[in-house]
Structure 1
């Protein structure tokens, strides 16, 4: 059990970093401040926090890509909220992102190039041809279906709360359905994917690359 927990922890580090908080904290601060003060104060505080996080990254000599991405997101969201004079519009970019993910997952399934396989390929650099094997591909298709259902559920909740104009609920929904649920979803995807690959009895990435004949050991780690 300890070995499995360690394995999952190491796998999660490939796609999740503590630096992702650079994108999570400013929207939460925006919602809290907006509930007590004017929209402009909330915008200034959110931007200030994003800049502060960037300064911290520079001081610690850490990569700026997360802080820069978070700052860009805050600037775009703040601009939309400011020019529309509607705090709820601060979360429009996140709703649009959810809609894009729903569409991307659906299109990838229709085209037979599941999003989970493409994401794994980009993250790990494994041979793309391996993912399209008949004894490998179904695992990634099924995981992509799970992703599609989650993205669709999140989008539906975001739209409902946006129409209500509830900024605080939007903030917490985006946060809880962001990193915490993403971590849970990745763990489930990983465990299910490894189990499904074993059942499909296909070769591992290394065995496929080397052209080894059956019987195969199969993929025992990584998805």
Structure 2
């Protein structure tokens, strides 16, 4: 029960308030494109994203994700309008996924796994802890999981983009978006905590306090 509650809290800290911001603007675009045409579909989805950003600011909620969604809509709509091809609405997202995959592979090449950097930036834990030989393998292996799943996402989206099937492209982009991300986060957390336990390294608090072995290890957070 405690572990389940812990997983829910970890997911809430990552995805709270973001799903609507990311999902609705492209859904509006797809639904409206065949009915009102590319320019008006781009305009309406952009206005919705802008309205969502303003609402977030007015309600003093996290507006950064809605604003990021607005920028994404503007860039994607621009691609579509300039080229006259509605499928290009999804091109910036595909490019960003390819770039992220490149960063992941680069981090593995230099043995500074991206999962460790992501945890460091989000939690503020010391980088020295992540690079320990009894800690880093867990983050390296989780980064490989990210790489494989992201590669699958890129391949599927590129194939659908080339086919020009806008509806299927939206559906699979959605399925391989937040649902896949949530699954990856769950797998990463469960596997990461289990792997750290096997490695028998210090927990971050033990490392920070300079505790000597044997260690209790990391019991919460990855």
CA distance in 2, matches of 1:209, 1:52: 44
Q: Unmatched 5+ residue regions in structure 2?
A: none
- Which residue is equivalent to 2:13? 14
1:53 aligns with 2:48: no
CA distance in 2, matches of 1:117, 1:38: 44
CA-CA distance at 1:161 after TM superposition: 0.4
CA distance in 2, matches of 1:68, 1:21: 12
1:173 aligns with 2:172: yes
After superposition, what is the alpha-carbon deviation per residue over 1:95-125, rounded to whole angstroms, capped at 9, x for unaligned? 1011011101100000000011000000100
Q: 2:17·2:62 contact (CA, 8 Å) conserved in 1? A: no
1:34 aligns with 2:33: yes
1:213 aligns with 2:212: yes
RMSD: 1.1
Q: 1:140·1:193 contact (CA, 8 Å) conserved in 2? A: yes
1:106 aligns with 2:105: yes
Q: 1:15·1:123 contact (CA, 8 Å) conserved in 2? A: no
Q: SS where residue 15 of structure 1 aligns?
A: helix
CA-CA distance at 1:17 after TM superposition: 1.8
Question: How many pairs were matched up?
Answer: 222
TM-score normalized by structure 2?
0.96
Equivalence map 1:102-141=2 (5 Å): 102-141=101-140
Of residues 161-170 and 44-53 in structure 1, the stretch that sits farther from structure 2 once superposed is: 44-53
CA distance in 1, matches of 2:138, 2:20: 31
1:67 aligns with 2:28: no
- Which residue is equivalent to 2:93? 94
- Which residue is equivalent to 1:222? 221
CA distance in 1, matches of 2:18, 2:148: 27
Q: 2:49·2:69 contact (CA, 8 Å) conserved in 1? A: yes
Q: Unmatched 5+ residue regions in structure 1?
A: none
- Which residue is equivalent to 1:77? 76
TM-score normalized by structure 1?
0.96
CA distance in 1, matches of 2:60, 2:18: 13
CA-CA distance at 1:14 after TM superposition: 2.8
CA-CA distance at 1:4 after TM superposition: 1.1
